Amino acid sequence: MKFLIAIVQDYDCDRMLRTVTGFGYRATRISSTGGFLRTGNTTVLIGIEDDQVERCIGLIRQSCQARTEVKLDPANEYIEWFAAGVHEVTVGGAVVFVMNVERFEQFRADAVSVSTRDGGFGD
C-alpha cells in the first residue's frame, strides 16, 4: 500500500477531490499553509494500493494544471527575496509525495449497533 500526500492550491482542490473520489479513491482534505508564501493551500491524503499509484497521480495531474503567477511585493515581508532576484513565483499544479505504508488498519463498528429508537446513541 502507498500513501500519497498531495499539496494543491485551494482553487484546484474541489476539482481534484471530485475526480479522485469519483474514481473510487478515498481521500482526506486538510487545510494547510505554504511555508514560503504563507497563504492557504490544501493537503490531500490518499491511501491506495501500489498498482493504483500511477493512475491516481495522473488524475491529480490532470485536475491541478492551473498555474498562477504571484508577484512579490518589495514593500512587504518578501523584500529579502525581491533583493535576491525572486520577483514572482508560480503556484498551482501539485506537489505529491509517495510513501510506503507499513501497516494499515481500519476499525469499523459494524458488529456493534449503537443506535437507539430516537436515533441517538445509547448509554
Q: Which of the stretches 10-18, 28-36, 50-58, 109-117 binds ligand 2BA when contact is defined by CB under 6 A?
A: 28-36
Question: Is residue 37 involved in binding ligand 2BA (CB under 6 A)?
Answer: yes
Separation of alpha carbons 46 and 108, rounded Å: 19
Of 92, 12, 8, nearest in space to 44 by CA: 8
Contact 11, 94 (CB under 8 A): no
| Least distance (Å) between residue 93 CB and ligand 2BA | 6
Question: Is residue 99 involved in binding ligand 2BA (CB under 6 A)?
Answer: no
Contact 91, 67 (CB under 8 A): yes
Q: Which residue is nearest to ligand 2BA (CB)?
A: 34
Residues interacting with ligand 2BA, by CB under 6 A?
7, 34-37, 41, 86, 89-91, 93, 95
